[in-house]
Structure 1
Amino acid sequence: METQIVYTIPNTALDCLNAQFIYEETDLILKLEYEDEDGMVRSYHIRFIHAQLFRFENEMHCISITAGAYDGVVELVDSAWAMEINSFENEYNRHSPWSKRHFCIYISSTGQLNIIADSFTVEVVK
């Protein structure tokens, strides 16, 4: 399995102040608030497009942090979890137009989120 850093939340001086998970239609939206070095609160909305599966471990129960995922998104290429999902899906789902990419983010003071989704986008709100 290869781990690729695909996004790092910029200017995070302190831990995450607030994290919200919203499942909307087929997307998982992660709304995060961080305080930067200047004391400004910044909001980041990370939208995982066509999120097919996700699992969350709170900080207290997180056994290990995925390398590179601390306050950033990594892609786990050829992960065991993605291969397991593909192995038991029926023929129709295997040929879906959406990719099954494994993303992971460790949110400081919150926990780790693993997602199987097609792609993701980031919007800086504040």
Structure 2
Amino acid sequence: MIDPDVLLGDPYPPETAELRVEFDFPDDAEHDYYEIQWIDEERNYSFGWHQDETHPDLGKCHFQLDYRDETVARKPAVFHDSHPVNVLEQRLSLVPSVLELVAWENDRPGLSRWPPHDV
């Protein structure tokens, strides 16, 4: 668990959030795979970036917003870098701007607009 106020520099409604980071280096893939997911268990939603073999129609990587057990939005994402440390740093820097885009309507998250800069 992480303290969102420390990462974001601002108060965040839940006191804790989870940041799941997974990297995989398949021998038969042309690039590394990763999943970087911000998880807000209190409100039962998450968002993050996935670079894997799924959804090739969206490009090398995509952004995904999930609520409960359902994907609410899935959008193409910018391929920033191939080095895992650089990818993690770049994606973490985007968390505050993505949090501003998550709009709640009828107790369900959605994206107020898309795309934000360099997502």
Higher alpha-carbon Rg: 1
Greater fraction strand: 1
For Structure 1 versus Structure 2, the TM-score category normalised by the shorter chain is: under 0.3
Larger helix share, 1 or 2: 2
Could you state the TM-score of these two structures normalised by the residue count of structure 2?
0.28
Q: With structure 1 as the length reference, what TM-score do the two structures score?
A: 0.27
